[in-house]
């Protein structure tokens, strides 16, 4: 954490803001010590003068030097602002963390107070408190402090609530941790960073607000002076003597910005950094499709991200008409990225290259020279290439009716009228067996259950005449019994319309039941390609076998420990030399650790296992 | 070690028109030293039941008893029940070392340092992980720490809520093995919650099936899975993967039914809108629409909440009860 | 989700329930606002009348003024009277001028409302298109330099308070260039500087939020779905991204409008604008408490109404909002 703060100071914006803030704070500490005398010296010979060699920014109505007064005023301005910020932070923190300490009833009261107070702009609250506490520096500090408290309390509440939902808080409660310790030990450390950042930004805001109050005469009173008061007093003379008005204004802005920019830089530095890179695409040689039955041909597909990380490293496969192919792997194996790359949905900075990537004989990669061919390609994909995503809850636009979302593509690509497209949508919803399709088409996504949404998503893919459905973990977010329904639906569509399906899943048992062929992925490579019927008995790659053995099913022997794969999946950013699975493989030899095996004869392994050895690997009986 | 008993426990969320009864009059016993596996789909209330047991949800009715004594949850007091959560990325405080997290769960006065090291070794982690932060650990390792923390509280009963479903397939097995070993070594009573019947089968002595807030079938694991009485249990069994199966099971008669809305549970038998042997398919079974099958559940095999499950005849004075197939329904 | 249950219409019909709930909250907030305005005078240490009239004023004068303000009655009685007067539209009389407070407000309110509304419209018209355009141009880490320039400009502009901006604008456009008048309210030209000084800061904030919000929407699964439908880019942005980015924009827009209502206080003082803002400052300094009370009430109610409008618009836009709130 400390290193991240240091990293922030190393960025140009962070370093600049940090230096500026340091300068402002040093000025506040030392300026009155050094220049009080010059600032208060009355020079009756030079009243209200413009800038001169003697007085850089001129003099005020008593002939005092404005430049020095601006410097000296920094202490009052910043000190009072910090005081007010402290009041706002402490009050806000107390109000905001009250729900965590007081329990339900007290917490609800605190939330209600904050909810009402936060609805009013800070300045209005400050004016209210300024009336109550009286005009003057003390009143203004209290007024601005209390006026700033509600928004800080709201922030604290939001952050506390975010942390309180997490399971470690529940775990601590079960462990018998008391409320106060919970707040101090578990909650506050986890929200400290955003609180500090916001307090810093808040200090900038407070400084400006304070200047505002002093400016209109409700803040610092004579003979004391801060930037706001100086500005207010010199405003009337702005025609004849602009420097006197502008100098304190500039000072306020610089000081306010110092706090603000520093806070923003820290906030940005502590947040997630977005990797930046250019979207470049290697145009591959167009290779004519060799297999007239092939729906999708993928040859040496690579997906890489700046870093550089290459989560998909040379995947090749062909899907034929009416074929269901399963793509299995653990998280990080590159299976979903393969699906997205095939569907042309990898967004920059991701980069997709392939020796060949063609759909129904048409190349998908590379920039097309003519605009009309680009439109043709879009239409081809729009009508013949369907996509089903993992999470049906988030994959529909929440603000549009289901029917409209289905109809949209058909209107675009098939030129259907609004009415015709909607009728088609209803018909397709019926085809995926959504009950009461007509009524359902006019509902919003949130009115659908997960399984029904996934059906609707499949129905969306059937709006055209798809040749391929790419389904990325279509059943993972669904309940077991619903999973089967969705899989069965995919199978029915395949058998009725000869549609090819690419099914991505982490669950090898799901894949076994519906697919014709299974591709097993590990660390961005296909390590084995085999018919689904042979999964149980004919797998040759040690990883495929281990994966099958590690998942308990209804026939797993109860009296023995489960087979386990030692170690953990490899990080695509740190790939070893040689076979990526070698470190976890019990058959690995020196060769495996140095030479990377390629997919030969449907298996990428130096020591493929023969079928006979299989029985010793797995002891379940049926 | 101890017996955990849910006695007619009901948990409600919200009020008025949007009220949701997540757990509805559940009776369930976790016998001392045994593992009860609780299966059900999302929204069935199984996690809510667990949270009620450890005091994270307030029951609106009924009692939760530990060795016959009602549980009380006071903030700051030691809890005799400990829980392992689903998501190991959320269940460990990222700002606390592994050692501190485990030590915090220990009873006062324990010899913390030695004990933490012992627990880490117990769950198969190196002792030098004491000062590591969760950020440096993988999902499987975090889940081990979470298990160590739960054991550190010297619980009478351990509750495991979907502890493998957030883990990678290749890691799940190691965690399941660990849980099984620990349970046997420490002879823990355990409530093991999962949506995966195969996982539950592997771990549990007793299996309970939950549907829409109610237990619809409960009994010894072998019996329930070998001779399921409730049609929902049968559906779950049919949906669970079997070794070497290369085809989808044939569709049920009412395969495309929508899951019920827990805000408005169906009257009568809650499963009737989806039931393949219910009134949708067999028109003579109208009583399923109105009669609640849970009231007579005690008289049926596996306490099944189904009018058409086999019955149990308790012969006077005979112990154990004599099992008799009362109805030979074509379930 | 078929609703077959027949419950009272009040709780089942989402819009009616929403209206009842939201108006209830408004009523509660107004009551608290009114109570706070009432208590304000009583929270001031010492005798407010003595404070207002000064230490030199004769005791008889102070007593007479106290009696006329009803300050000698028990607190609850004063509260009831205060509420009663409010309902009848009587906000009391100004201590300094002797004019009815309601007259002062009627005179001065239009100027302030004009200023706030004009500034709000200008801010929205600048910020929303700018923010969205920046979002589209800088999505996925594209054009990092444009992003840096935009963000830093926005941060700097947002950090300059309206009264300082006003001073700066006056110096440049009125004092130096003589394009617009320095102060006062009259011709169209006299509106330009006050409106700009109120609008620029909020516009910067709003433009940033628009951009960030659009970027967040561009990352969602449903936008990927829209792309998977192979819609043209314009359709993806206009039909799917925009409506979803609008929610946060409107929420923040509402907050900003509330802030602008308050911001008029300072800007009016710079420009000598004859609105409520200059009135409240002068009345606070003059300790003219009935007038302060009246103006605070007007400002507070204004802000509450803006909040109400935002909630209603959000509920209209988002089909889930009524369900989410319960």
Per-residue pLDDT, B72: 79
- Tokens 């009389």 sit at which residue? C93
- Which comes out higher in pLDDT, residue C52 or A491? A491
- Which comes out higher in pLDDT, residue C242 or A519? A519
Residue B242 belongs to a domain: yes
Q: Does C284 touch chain A (CB under 8 A)?
A: yes
Whole-number Å distance between alpha carbons of C78 and C80: 5
A84 contacts A206 by C-beta, under 8 angstroms: yes
Q: Please give the average per-residue pLDDT across A75-79, as a whole number.
A: 89
Per-residue pLDDT, A64: 79
Residues of chain C with C-beta less than 8 angstroms from the C-beta of B17? 7, 11-12
Q: So what's the ipTM on this one?
A: 0.82
Per-residue pLDDT, A612: 44
Q: Please give the average per-residue pLDDT across B73-94, as a whole number.
A: 82
Per-residue pLDDT, A518: 92
Q: Does C83 share its domain with C210?
A: no
Residue C183 belongs to a domain: yes
At which of C31, C61, C87 does a domain end? C87
- Name the band, by pLDDT with cuts 50, 70 and 90, for residue A575: confident
At which of B128, B147, B166 does a domain end? B147
Closest-approach residue (CA) in chain A for B103? A175
Residue C280 belongs to a domain: yes
Counted domains in chain C: 2
CB contact under 8 Å between B17 and C11, yes or no, is yes
Q: Does C55 share its domain with C132?
A: no
Q: Does C182 share its domain with C257?
A: yes
| Whether residue A619 has pLDDT greater than 50 | no
Residue B329 belongs to a domain: no
In degrees and rounded to multiples of 5, residue A394 shows phi and psi of -110, -5
Compare CB distances from A513 to B149, B235, B248 and report the shortest one's residue.
B248
CA atoms within 13 A on the CB side of C158: 23
pLDDT tens column, B253-281: 555 666 677 778 888 888 888 888 877 77
Residue A139 belongs to a domain: yes
Compare CB distances from A568 to B81, B138, B244 and report the shortest one's residue.
B138
Q: Does C55 share its domain with C167?
A: no
Q: Does B261 touch chain C (CB under 8 A)?
A: yes
Which residues partner with C225 through β-bridges?
none
At which of B147, B170, B187 does a domain end? B147
Residue B286 belongs to a domain: yes
Q: Does C30 share its domain with C107?
A: no
Compare CB distances from A242 to C28, C144, C175 and report the shortest one's residue.
C175
- Name the band, by pLDDT with cuts 50, 70 and 90, for residue C8: very low
C279 contacts C91 by C-beta, under 8 angstroms: no
| Whether residue B33 has pLDDT greater than 70 | yes
Residue C96 belongs to a domain: no
- Name the band, by pLDDT with cuts 50, 70 and 90, for residue C181: confident
Residue B298 belongs to a domain: yes
Q: Does C129 share its domain with C82?
A: no
Counted domains in chain A: 2
| Whether residue A57 has pLDDT greater than 80 | no
Q: Which of C132, C42, C58, C54 is nearest to C96 (CA)?
A: C54
| Whether residue A118 has pLDDT greater than 70 | yes
- Classify each residue of A418-433 as buried b or exposed e, where b means 16 or more C-beta atoms within 10 Å of its C-beta: eeebbbbbbbbbbbbb
Whole-number Å distance between alpha carbons of C261 and C280: 13
CATH code of the domain covering residue A155: 1.10.3720.10
pLDDT mean across residues, chain B:
83
Q: Please give the average per-residue pLDDT across A544-565, as a whole number.
A: 83
Per-residue pLDDT, C3: 40
| Whether residue B10 has pLDDT greater than 90 | yes
CB contact under 8 Å between C261 and A446, yes or no, is no
| Whether residue B312 has pLDDT greater than 80 | no
Residue A528 burial class via C-beta count within 10 angstroms: exposed 0-12, middle 13-18, buried 19 and up: buried
At which of A226, A250, A269 does a domain end? A269
Whole-number Å distance between alpha carbons of B187 and B35: 10
Per-residue pLDDT, A620: 37
pLDDT above 70 as % of chain A: 91
| Whether residue A276 has pLDDT greater than 60 | no
* 3-state SS assignment for residue A244: helix
Q: Does C194 share its domain with C277?
A: yes
The winner for highest mean pLDDT among A239-243, A344-348, B5-9, C315-319 is B5-9
Neighbors of chain C by Cβ distance (3+ pairs < 8 Å): A, B
Compare CB distances from B18 to C1, C4, C326 and report the shortest one's residue.
C326
pLDDT tens column, C47-58: 777 777 777 778
CB contact under 8 Å between B248 and A514, yes or no, is yes
Residues of chain A with C-beta less than 8 angstroms from the C-beta of B172? 550-551
Which two structure tokens, joined as six digits, stand for A498?
């000869």
CATH code of the domain covering residue C280: 1.10.3720.10
Neighbors of chain A by Cβ distance (3+ pairs < 8 Å): B, C
B300 contacts B311 by C-beta, under 8 angstroms: yes
Q: Which of A542, A514, A513, A540 is nearest to A529 (CA)?
A: A540
Q: Please give the average per-residue pLDDT across A175-199, as a whole number.
A: 85
Name the least confident of B8-12, B40-44, B194-198: B40-44
| Whether residue C226 has pLDDT greater than 70 | yes
Q: Please give the average per-residue pLDDT across A284-291, as a whole number.
A: 45
Q: Does C108 share its domain with C44?
A: no
- Name the band, by pLDDT with cuts 50, 70 and 90, for residue C130: very high
Q: Please give the average per-residue pLDDT across A72-91, as a whole number.
A: 91
**pTM for this entry:** 0.79
- Name the band, by pLDDT with cuts 50, 70 and 90, for residue A218: confident
The winner for highest mean pLDDT among A44-53, A238-247, A451-460 is A451-460
At which of B131, B147, B163 does a domain end? B147
Instruction: Choose from A11, A16, A119, A439 for mutation: most chain C CBs within 10 A.
Output: A119
Residues of chain A with C-beta less than 8 angstroms from the C-beta of B95? 186, 189-190
| Whether residue B68 has pLDDT greater than 70 | yes
Q: Please give the average per-residue pLDDT across C17-29, as a whole number.
A: 83
Which residues partner with B81 through β-bridges?
B157
Residues of chain C with C-beta less than 8 angstroms from the C-beta of B16? 11
- Which comes out higher in pLDDT, residue A229 or A284? A229
Which two structure tokens, joined as six digits, stand for A156?
């604290």
Per-residue pLDDT, A278: 32
- Name the band, by pLDDT with cuts 50, 70 and 90, for residue B224: very high
CB contact under 8 Å between B90 and A535, yes or no, is no
Per-residue pLDDT, A621: 35
Residues of chain A with C-beta less than 8 angstroms from the C-beta of B85? 167, 170-171
A225 contacts A288 by C-beta, under 8 angstroms: no
Which residues partner with B160 through β-bridges?
B84, B192
Distance, in angstroms, between C289 CA and closest chain B CA?
A: 45
| Whether residue A288 has pLDDT greater than 60 | no
Q: Does C44 share its domain with C192?
A: no
Peptide bond into C6 cis (omega under 30): no
Per-residue pLDDT, A372: 60
Counted domains in chain B: 2
Closest-approach residue (CA) in chain B for C323? B18
Which residues partner with C218 through β-bridges?
none
pLDDT above 70 as % of chain C: 93
Q: Does C43 share its domain with C109?
A: no
pLDDT tens column, B45-56: 888 999 999 888
Residue A16 belongs to a domain: yes
- ∠ CA(C182), CA(C184), CA(C186), 5° rounding? 115
At which of A269, A299, A333 does a domain end? A269
- Which comes out higher in pLDDT, residue A610 or A528? A528
Compare CB distances from B264 to C5, C11, C12 and report the shortest one's residue.
C5
Which residues, at least 6 apart from A166, have a Cβ–Cβ distance to it below 8 Å? B90, B91
Residue A26 belongs to a domain: yes
Q: Please give the average per-residue pLDDT across C136-154, as a whole number.
A: 84
Residues of chain C with C-beta less than 8 angstroms from the C-beta of B14? 326
Q: How far is CA A418 from the centre of its chain?
A: 35
pLDDT tens column, C254-291: 877 877 877 888 888 888 888 888 888 888 888 888 88
Owning domain of residue B138: 89-147
Owning domain of residue A136: 2-40+66-269
Owning domain of residue C207: 101-324
Residue A434 belongs to a domain: no
Residue C93 belongs to a domain: no
- ∠ CA(C206), CA(A128), CA(A248), 5° rounding? 60
Q: Which of A35, A219, A48 is nearest to A127 (CA)?
A: A219
Which residues partner with A363 through β-bridges?
A358
| Whether residue B331 has pLDDT greater than 60 | no
Whole-number Å distance between alpha carbons of C305 and A150: 19
The winner for highest mean pLDDT among A154-158, A573-577, C140-144 is A154-158
Whole-number Å distance between alpha carbons of C175 and C323: 55
- Name the band, by pLDDT with cuts 50, 70 and 90, for residue B320: very low
Q: Does C274 share its domain with C319?
A: yes
Q: What is the CA radius of gyration of chain A?
A: 34
Residue B297 belongs to a domain: yes
Whole-number Å distance between alpha carbons of A72 and A33: 8
């Amino acid at each position: 954490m400390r290193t991240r703060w240091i990293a922030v100071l190393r960025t140009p914006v962070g370093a600049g803001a940090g230096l500026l803030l340091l300068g402002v704070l040093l000025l506040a500490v030392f300026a009155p010590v050094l220049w009080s005398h010059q600032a208060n010296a009355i020079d009756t010979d030079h009243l209200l003068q413009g800038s001169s060699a003697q007085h850089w920014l001129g003099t005020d109505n008593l002939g005092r030097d404005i430049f020095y007064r601006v410097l000296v005023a920094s202490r009052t301005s910043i000190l009072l602002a910090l005081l007010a910020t402290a009041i706002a932070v402490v009050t806000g923190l107390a109000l905001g963390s009250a729900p965590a300490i007081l329990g339900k009833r007290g917490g609800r009261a605190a939330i209600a107070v904050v909810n009402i107070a936060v609805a009013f702009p800070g300045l209005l609250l400050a004016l209210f408190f300024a009336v109550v506490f009286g005009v003057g520096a003390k009143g203004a500090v209290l007024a601005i402090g209390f006026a700033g408290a509600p928004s800080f309390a709201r922030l604290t509440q939001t952050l506390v609530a975010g942390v309180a939902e997490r399971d470690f808080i529940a775990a601590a409660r079960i462990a018998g941790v008391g409320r106060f310790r919970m707040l101090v030990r578990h909650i506050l450390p986890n929200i400290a960073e955003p609180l500090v950042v916001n307090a810093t930004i808040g200090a900038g805001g407070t400084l400006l607000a304070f200047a505002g109050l002093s400016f209109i005469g409700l803040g610092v009173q004579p003979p004391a002076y801060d930037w706001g008061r100086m500005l207010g007093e010199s405003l009337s003379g702005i025609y004849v003597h602009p420097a006197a008005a502008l100098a304190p204004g500039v000072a306020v802005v610089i000081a306010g910005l110092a706090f603000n920019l520093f806070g923003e830089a820290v906030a940005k530095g502590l947040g997630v950094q977005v990797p930046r890179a250019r979207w470049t695409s290697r145009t591959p040689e167009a290779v004519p499709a060799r297999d007239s039955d092939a729906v999708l041909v993928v040859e040496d597909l690579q997906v890489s991200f700046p870093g550089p990380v290459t989560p998909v490293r040379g995947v090749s496969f062909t899907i034929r008409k009416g074929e269901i192919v399963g793509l299995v792997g653990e998280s990080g194996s590159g299976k979903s990225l393969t699906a997205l790359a095939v569907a042309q949905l990898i967004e920059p900075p991701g980069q997709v290259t392939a020796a060949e990537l063609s759909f129904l004989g048409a190349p998908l990669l590379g920039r097309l020279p003519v605009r009309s061919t680009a439109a043709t390609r879009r239409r081809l994909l729009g009508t013949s290439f369907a996509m089903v995503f993992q999470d049906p809850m988030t994959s529909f636009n929440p603000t549009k009716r289901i029917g409209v979302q289905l109809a949209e593509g058909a209107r675009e690509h098939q030129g259907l009228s609004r009415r015709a497209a909607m009728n088609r949508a209803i018909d397709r919803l019926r085809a995926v067996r959504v009950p009461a399709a007509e009524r359902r088409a006019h509902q919003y996504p949130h009115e659908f259950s997960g399984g029904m949404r996934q059906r609707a998503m499949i129905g969306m893919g059937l709006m055209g005449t798809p040749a391929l459905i790419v389904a990325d973990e279509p059943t993972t977010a669904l309940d077991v019994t619903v999973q089967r329904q969705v899989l069965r639906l995919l199978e029915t569509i395949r058998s009725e319309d000869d549609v090819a399906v690419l099914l991505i899943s982490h669950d090898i048992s799901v894949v076994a039941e519906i697919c014709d062929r299974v591709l097993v992925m590990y660390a961005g490579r296909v390590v084995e390609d085999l018919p689904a019927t042979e999964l149980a008995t004919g797998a040759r790659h040690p990883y495929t076998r281990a994966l099958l053995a590690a998942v308990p099913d209804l026939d797993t022997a109860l009296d023995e420990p489960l087979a386990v794969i030692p170690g953990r999946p490899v990080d695509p950013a740190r790939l070893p030399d040689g076979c990526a699975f070698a470190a976890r493989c019990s058959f690995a030899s020196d060769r495996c650790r140095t030479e990377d095996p390629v997919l030969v004869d449907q298996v990428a392994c130096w020591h493929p296992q023969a079928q006979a050895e299989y029985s010793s690997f797995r002891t379940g009986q049926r | 070690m101890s017996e955990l008993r849910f006695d007619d426990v009901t948990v409600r969320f919200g009020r008025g028109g949007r009220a949701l009864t997540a757990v509805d009059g559940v009776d369930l016993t976790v016998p001392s030293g045994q593992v009860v596996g609780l299966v059900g789909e999302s929204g069935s209330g199984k996690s809510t039941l667990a949270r009620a047991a450890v005091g994270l949800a307030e029951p609106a009715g009924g009692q939760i008893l530990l060795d016959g004594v009602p549980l009380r949850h006071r903030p700051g007091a030691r809890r005799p029940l400990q829980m392992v959560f689903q998501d190991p990325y959320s269940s460990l405080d990222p700002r606390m070392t592994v050692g501190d997290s485990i030590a915090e769960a220990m009873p006062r006065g324990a010899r913390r340092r030695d004990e933490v090291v012992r627990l880490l070794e117990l769950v198969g982690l190196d002792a030098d992980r004491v000062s590591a932060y969760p950020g440096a650990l993988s999902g499987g390792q975090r889940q081990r720490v979470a298990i160590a923390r739960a054991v550190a509280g010297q619980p009478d009963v351990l509750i495991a809520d979907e502890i493998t479903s957030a883990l990678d397939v290749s890691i799940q097995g190691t965690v399941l093995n660990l849980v099984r070993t620990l349970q046997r070594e420490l002879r823990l009573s355990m409530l093991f919650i999962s949506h995966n019947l195969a996982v539950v089968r592997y771990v549990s002595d007793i299996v309970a099936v939950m549907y829409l807030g109610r237990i619809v079938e409960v009994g010894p694991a072998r019996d329930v899975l070998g001779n399921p009485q409730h049609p929902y249990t049968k559906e779950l069994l049919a949906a669970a993967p079997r070794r070497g199966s290369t085809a989808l099971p044939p569709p049920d008669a009412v395969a495309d039914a929508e899951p019920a809305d827990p805000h408005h549970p169906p009257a009568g038998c809650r499963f009737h809108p989806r039931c393949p042997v219910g009134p949708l398919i067999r028109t003579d079974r109208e009583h399923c629409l109105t009669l609640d099958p849970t009231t007579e559940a005690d008289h049926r095999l596996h306490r099944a909440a189904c009018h058409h499950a086999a019955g149990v005849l308790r012969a006077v004075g005979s112990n154990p009860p004599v099992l008799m197939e009362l109805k030979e329904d074509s379930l | 989700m078929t609703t077959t249950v027949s419950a009272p219409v009040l709780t089942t019909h989402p819009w009616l329930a929403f209206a009842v709930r939201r108006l209830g909250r408004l009523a509660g907030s107004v009551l608290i606002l009114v109570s706070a305005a009432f208590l304000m005078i009583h929270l001031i240490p010492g005798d407010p009348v003595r404070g207002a009239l000064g230490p030199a004023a004769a005791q008889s004068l102070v007593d007479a003024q106290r009696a006329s303000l009803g300050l000698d009655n028990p607190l609850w009685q004063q509260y009831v009277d205060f509420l009663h007067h409010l309902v009848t539209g009587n906000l009391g009389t100004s201590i300094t001028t002797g004019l009815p407070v309601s007259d002062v407000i009627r005179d001065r309110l239009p100027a302030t409302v004009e200023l706030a509304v004009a500034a709000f419209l200008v801010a929205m018209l600048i910020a929303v298109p700018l923010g969205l355009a920046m979002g589209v141009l800088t999505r996925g880490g594209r054009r990092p330099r444009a992003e840096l320039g935009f963000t830093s400009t926005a941060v700097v502009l947002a950090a300059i308070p309206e009264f300082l901006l006003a001073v700066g604008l006056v110096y440049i456009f009125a004092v130096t260039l003589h394009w617009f008048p320095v102060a006062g309210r009259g011709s169209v030209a006299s509106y330009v500087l006050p409106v700009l000084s109120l609008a620029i800061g909020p516009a910067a904030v709003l433009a940033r939020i628009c951009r960030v919000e659009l970027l967040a929407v561009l990352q969602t699964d449903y936008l990927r779905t829209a792309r998977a439908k192979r819609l043209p880019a314009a359709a993806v942005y206009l039909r799917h991204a925009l409506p979803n980015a609008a929610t946060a924009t409107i929420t923040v827009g509402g907050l900003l409008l509330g802030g602008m209502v308050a911001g008029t206080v300072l800007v009016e003082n710079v420009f000598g604008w004859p609105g409520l803002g200059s009135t409240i400052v002068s009345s606070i300094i003059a300790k003219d408490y009935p007038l302060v009370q009246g103006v605070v009430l007007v400002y507070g109610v204004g802000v509450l109404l803006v909040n109400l409008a935002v909630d209603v618009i959000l509920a209209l836009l988002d089909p889930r909002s009524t369900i989410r709130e319960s």
